[in-house]
Structure 1
Amino acid sequence: MSRAEQYTVLITRDEDGRIVAVDVAADDLDGGHRKIHVNGGRAAHIAAPLQDVLRSAGLRGRDWASCKPIALDPMLGAHAELLLRAVKPLRRTDRIIDIAEGVAGMSREEAAYWHAQVQHRHGLKALRILLDGGKRR
């Protein structure tokens, strides 16, 4: 049996069914635990791109609507984690949308590459420049 990181995604909705938070948690091979949480407006703006990523892996709409954590395979989990990490510190809606759509549009191999790169200094900055040209205004 091969060992791999284990990922889960949890989608939190308000009483009207709108997405208010998204959490991606990862348990790595060394026993460490990572969690990234995106809430508020960012969560609403990344919902469609995240759903595209999950749908590309065959995740059904019923799973997406569940209030239970969803187990993801390592490649899909890395893609989802990359999407959240890329938009978490951003404030401008246009950048959040551009970058989230850019990450969602990546192939699994490209997302795995960038997931590894953002672990290094300036990796997230390079990814954002690639996806939106480094807009600062």
Structure 2
Amino acid sequence: MTRSETYSCLIERDDDGRVTALSVAAQDLDGSERHVRVNGYRAIHVAAGFQEVLRSARLRGRDLTSADPIRIDPQLGAHVELVLRAVKPLKRIDRISTVSEAVAGMSREEAAYWHAQINRRNGLRALRLLLGEGPKR
């Protein structure tokens, strides 16, 4: 059996069923953990792209509306983590929507490449510039 990173994601909703927060937790091969959480207005504008990536893995609708964390494979986990990390520092709604939709629309290979780049200096900034964000946040 080969070891790989483990990912889980959580879609938090209010009593009316509206998305209030999105989060991804990852555990690396060495045991260290990463957490990315987007809430408030960012979560509302990222939810469609986030769920689009999860649906591409043929997850059931029940999984997407459950209050329990969803365990996902490493390739899919890297893609949803990239969606959240790319929009986390952004403030403008139009940029949040543009970047999240572009990242969600990436192929698995492209998302894996950019996921590897986000830990490098200016990796996220380069991604956002490529996706048309411009130099300002």
Length-normalised TM-score, structure 1: 0.97
Equivalent residue letter for 2:30 = D
Aligned-residue offset at 1:51: 0.8
Aligned-residue offset at 1:134: 1.3
Q: Which residue number corresponds to residue 86 of structure 1?
A: 86
> Any stretches of 5+ residues in structure 2 without a counterpart?
none
Equivalent residue letter for 2:37 = H
CA contact (8 A) 1:95 1:135 kept: no
Q: Which residue number corresponds to residue 12 of structure 2?
A: 12
CA contact (8 A) 1:8 1:72 kept: yes
Q: Which residue number corresponds to residue 110 of structure 1?
A: 110
Distance 2:61 2:116 in 1: 29
| Superposition RMSD in Å | 1.0
Q: Which residue number corresponds to residue 132 of structure 1?
A: 132
Distance 2:135 2:35 in 1: 27
Equivalent residue letter for 2:118 = V
Matches within 5 A, 1:60-71: 60-71=60-71
Q: Which residue number corresponds to residue 52 of structure 2?
A: 52
Identity of aligned residues (%): 64
Query: Are 2:28 and 1:22 equivalent residues in the alignment?
Result: no
Distance 1:15 1:132 in 2: 35
Distance 2:88 2:125 in 1: 12
Q: Deviations 1:26-83 (Å, cap 9, x if unpaired)?
A: 0000110000010000000011001110011111111000000000100000000000
Length-normalised TM-score, structure 2: 0.97
> Any stretches of 5+ residues in structure 1 without a counterpart?
none
Q: 3-state DSSP class of the match of 1:38? A: strand
Aligned-residue offset at 1:133: 4.5
Aligned-residue offset at 1:135: 5.5
CA contact (8 A) 1:42 1:88 kept: yes
Distance 1:5 1:16 in 2: 34
The alignment covers a number of residue pairs equal to: 137
CA contact (8 A) 2:99 2:133 kept: no
